[in-house]
Amino acid sequence: MTEIRLCGRCKKSISQTDLESGLTTERYGQLICQECTSQLSRKKEKGFDELSFFYESILNEVKSIRRVLTYETGSWLHIIAAVAQCFVFGSLIFAYINRRGDLHSTLLLAIVFQLMALTFFVIKK
């Protein structure tokens, strides 16, 4: 089974022939493709050093992480589920305070609120 190798800067695939022919280099534990190596050599001629390359690679990694993150849209069902979760917490506290009273009905009410909250959280998925 072949191993997939990616460039540490541009995330392009590096072929086995490029790796064997020495067109790729390794810096800070990452493989760098031929195009990125030529860009780095041009930047080095202009006065950039290895530390700026390191900072630039961190910046590229943060940008790629930001592209991967996805955000879910909120809905009114999620808001109702959050409110039901608050009622669950409140009814559990009420059941703890009134231990000598009708404990079973209060705990049953907490279970009902919890099931409602779970239903509202999962209903759109």
Question: Residue 72: which pLDDT band, with cuts at 50, 70 and 90?
Answer: low
Question: Residue 47: which pLDDT band, with cuts at 50, 70 and 90?
Answer: low
Nearest Cα residue to 21 out of 42, 37, 39:
37
Confidence check: pLDDT of 58 > 70: yes
Q: What is the pLDDT of residues 15-44, one digit of tens each?
A: 777 777 776 777 666 777 777 777 766 666
Q: What are the b/e assignments for 24-44, b being 16+ CB within 10 Å?
A: beebeeebbbeebbeebeeee
Q: What is the pLDDT of residues 88-110, one digit of tens each?
A: 988 888 888 888 878 888 888 88
* pTM given for the model: 0.40
